[in-house]
Amino acid sequence: MSQDPQDRKQPPAAFSPEDMARRNRRSVALALVLGGLVLFFFIVTLAKTGPAILNRPL
């Protein structure tokens, strides 16, 4: 089974500068949200353990 040249798929079009800028802003926004969640969970974890976390036996 040989493929006809017309059956070959075209490569995807390159992203425009506007598309790349939109993708970059979305990536930065997702990184900030993820970082905020990590910080939030860290603070909640410290608050739930309380000051007794420093008085544990080693």
Task: Give the pLDDT of residue 6.
Answer: 64
From residue 56, how far is each of 11, 42, 46 by CA, in Å? 61, 19, 14
| DSSP assignment of 7-25 | GSPPPPPPPPHHHHHHHHH
Task: Give the pLDDT of residue 11.
Answer: 85
For CA atoms 12, 15, 19, 20, the dihedral sign is positive
pTM > 0.95? no
Q: What is the pLDDT of residues 4-54, one digit of tens each?
A: 666 678 888 888 999 999 999 999 999 999 999 999 999 998 888 887 777
Task: Give the pLDDT of residue 1.
Answer: 52
Structure tokens at 46: 């410290």
Residue type, 37: L
